[in-house]
Amino acid sequence: MMYSIFSLAREALRGHAGWKPAWRDAAPKPSYDAVIVGGGGHGLATAYYLAKEHGLTNIAVLEKSYIGSGNAGRNTTIIRSNYLLPGNERFYEKSMQLWEGLEQDFNYNAMVSQRGVLNLYHSDAQRDMYARRGNGMRLHGVDAELLDEAGVRAMYPYLDYANARFPIRGGLLQRRGGTARHDAVAWGFARGADRRGVDIVQNCEVTGINIEGGAVRGVETARGYIAANKVGLVCAGSTSRVASLAGLRLPIESHVLQAFVSEGIKPLIDGVVTFGAGHFYVSQSDKGGLVFGGDIDGYNSYAQRGSLPVVEDVMEGGTALLPMLGRLRVLRQWGGVMDMSMDGSPIIDRTPIAGLYLNCGWCYGGFKATPASGWCFAHTIARGEPHVINSELRLDRFATGALLDERGAGAQPNLH
Ligand SMILES: Cc1cc2nc3c(=O)[nH]c(=O)nc-3n(C[C@H](O)[C@H](O)[C@H](O)COP(=O)(O)OP(=O)(O)OC[C@H]3O[C@@H](n4cnc5c(N)ncnc54)[C@H](O)[C@@H]3O)c2cc1C
C-alpha cells in the first residue's frame, strides 16, 4: 500500500479501517541467500538496499527483540556530515544525500528536518580547528559556514555568551544537518524491505554461527537453524558478543550513552546546538521537549540505562550553555549500548571468514549514518567487496595502522 494524499483521503472517508500493517510478521524459513543479524536501523537499511539496489530478495533480518528496540529508537536523532577526514567525510556525505531523498524513496514520513547543526567554539584554538574542519568539508563539496559571535547571537540570542570560563566566540554551522525521527527511520526501511519480499523476523535471537571450512554456512537462532552462505552482523552495542560466536575478537568496547527529554516548552531552539567546552548538545522536538545528551558512561556495560555521575555532568554542561535549563523538569531519561571502536570511526567490511560481513563501531553517531551504512553494507555483501565510499572503513586498519582517528584522540578515544 502506497502512502499518499489520496490514500490518506480515502482512509479518512472510510474511518481509517483499511490501513494494512506496515510489514508482515514473518516466520523464519529454513534457508536464505543472505541473513542480516540485527533489526536496528542499519540492519533494516542493509536489507532494503540489498533488495532495491542488488535484487537480492531471498533474505531475512533476524532481530532478537522487536525492531527498533536498540539504539535505532534510543538516539537523539541528529543527522549531519561535518567530518574532517576524507574516509569519513565522503561516507557521511553519502548518508546526508540519501537522507535528502529518503522519505520519497521508501515512501514513509521519517520527519527529516534540515534545521542546521551548530558546533560552538570558545577559544581561538578551537576556532582554528573548526575552520580547518569546515574547509575540509567544503573541499568535499559539503556546506559549512564559520560564524563569529554575532552570527551565533543572531540565531540563538539566549545562550550564555558571558560565561566566565567558556565565553561563546562563534560556531561552525552545517545548515543541511538537522534531525529525523529515529524510530520512523527503522519503520520506513522495514516497510520498504518487506514490500520487496524481505522477511523481517522479530524475537529471533542469533545464538550461534555455523562455520565450515573457513566459510559461514548458517546461524543458530532461538527459532531454529537457518542456512545462509552470506551473513551480515549489524548488532551495534552487541557486536562483540555476536562476533564472538564466530570466534572473532574485535577492537570494540560497549559503553552506555544516555539521552534526556525535558517537559514541553514553546519553540526555543530551531536547530541542533553543541557546546564546545564540555560534552553537551541540544535540540527541540516537534512536541516541544528539549532533547539533549552528552558523554558516554566511562565503564563497559550492556545495560540500557546509565549512571548518575554522567547525568550530573550533562546537566552541568547544559546549564553552562543555557542557564534557563535549570528551571526545566526532565521528563524522561534512558540509555543505549554503544559499539565504540578504538579510533572512533566505524567498520563496514568483510571478515577473515568467507561470507561473514561486519558492520559496527558507530560510537556516538551511527544514526546519521543509517542510510549510507545500509547502502554500503548492502554493496559489500552483494559484491563481496567494499564500495569506494566505505573503502577506508576497514577492519584491518587496526592491524595495518591506517586508522581513521577523526578527533585525534589516539587509542581509546572512548575514554577522552
Ligand atoms: C542515547 C543515544 C543518543 C544517540 N544520539 C545519536 C545522534 O544524535 N546521532 C547519531 O548519528 N547517532 C546517535 N546515536 C548512535 C546511534 O543510535 C547508533 O549508532 C545506531 O543506531 C546504531 O545502529 P542500529 O540502529 O542498527 O543499532 P540498534 O538499533 O542497536 O540495532 C542493533 C540490533 O541488533 C539486535 N541484536 C543484538 N544481538 C542480537 C542477536 N544475537 N540476534 C539478533 N539480533 C540481535 C539488537 O536487539 C538491536 O535491535 C545515539 C545513541 C544513543 C544510545
Burial class (CB in 10 A: 0-12, 13-18, 19+), 225: middle
* Ligand 1 centre distance from Cα of residue 203 (Å): 16
Residue nearest (by alpha carbon) to ligand 1 atom 24? 40
Task: Give the CA distances from residue 308 to residues 240, 291, 315, 333, in Å, rounded to whole numbers and listed in that order.
Answer: 26, 18, 11, 11
* Ligand 1 centre distance from Cα of residue 12 (Å): 35
String of DSSP letters for 357-406: EEEE--TT--STTHHHHHHHHHHHHHHSS--GGGTTS-TTHHHH-----T
Tell me the per-residue pLDDT of 370-399, one tens digit each, with 9 for 90 and over. Answer: 999 999 999 999 999 999 999 999 999 999
* Ligand 1 centre distance from Cα of residue 74 (Å): 7
Residue nearest (by alpha carbon) to ligand 1 atom 51? 75
Contact 92, 369 (CB under 8 A): yes
DSSP H or E run through 48: helix 41-54
Q: Residue 408 — pLDDT band, cuts 50, 70, 90? A: confident
* Geometric angle at alpha carbon 71, from 409 and 398, rounded to 5°: 35
pLDDT score recorded for residue 351: 98
Tell me the per-residue pLDDT of 238-259, one tens digit each, with 9 for 90 and over. Answer: 999 999 999 999 999 999 999 9
* Ligand 1 centre distance from Cα of residue 17 (Å): 33
pLDDT score recorded for residue 377: 98
pLDDT score recorded for residue 410: 78
The closest alpha carbon to 76, from 257, 235, 205, belongs to 257
Residue nearest (by alpha carbon) to ligand 1 atom 3? 75
Q: In sequence order, what are the residues at sequence separation of 6 or more whose Cβ sits closer than 8 angstroms to the Cβ of residue 381?
A: 34, 46, 50, 230, 232, 357
Q: What percent of the chain has pLDDT over 70?
A: 99
DSSP structural state of residue 145: E
Pairing mode, strands 34-37 and 59-62: parallel
* Ligand 1 centre distance from Cα of residue 5 (Å): 32
Candidate of 61, 64, 71 to mutate for ligand 1, largest count of ligand atoms within 8 Å of Cβ: 71
Residue nearest (by alpha carbon) to ligand 1 atom 31? 40
pLDDT score recorded for residue 231: 98
Q: What span, in angstroms and rounded, lies between the C-alpha atoms of 189 and 332?
A: 27
Q: What span, in angstroms and rounded, lies between the C-alpha atoms of 21 and 306?
A: 34
Q: What span, in angstroms and rounded, lies between the C-alpha atoms of 397 and 237?
A: 20
Examine the pLDDT at 106 and tell me if it is beyond 70: yes
* Ligand 1 centre distance from Cα of residue 59 (Å): 21
Q: Which own/partner pairs from 395-402 qualify as long-range (CB within 8 Å, at least 24 positions apart)?
A: 395/250, 395/347, 395/349, 395/350, 395/351, 395/358, 396/349, 397/343, 398/251, 398/342, 398/343
Residue nearest (by alpha carbon) to ligand 1 atom 52? 75
**Could you tell me the three cell numbers for 349?**
567490511
Candidate of 79, 367, 393, 406 to mutate for ligand 1, largest count of ligand atoms within 8 Å of Cβ: 367
* Ligand 1 centre distance from Cα of residue 126 (Å): 30
Examine the pLDDT at 78 and tell me if it is beyond 70: yes
What phi and psi values does residue 295 have, to the nearest 5 degrees? -85, 165
Q: Residue 411 — pLDDT band, cuts 50, 70, 90? A: confident
Ligand 1 interacting residues, C-beta cut-off 6 A: 37-43, 62-65, 69-72, 74-78, 205-206, 234-238, 242, 257-259, 293, 336, 338, 362, 364-368
Q: What span, in angstroms and rounded, lies between the C-alpha atoms of 27 and 224?
A: 11
At how many degrees (to 10) do helices 86-106 and 124-139 cross?
A: 60
Residues of the chain by 3-state class (helix, strand, coil), percent to 5: 35, 25, 40
* Ligand 1 centre distance from Cα of residue 236 (Å): 5
pTM above 0.85, yes or no: yes
Tell me the per-residue pLDDT of 258-308, one tens digit each, with 9 for 90 and over. Answer: 999 999 999 999 999 999 999 999 999 999 999 999 999 988 999 988 899
**Can you list the positions of beta strands (E) in 152-278?**
170-174, 178-179, 199-201, 206-212, 215-221, 224-227, 231-233, 252-264, 272-274
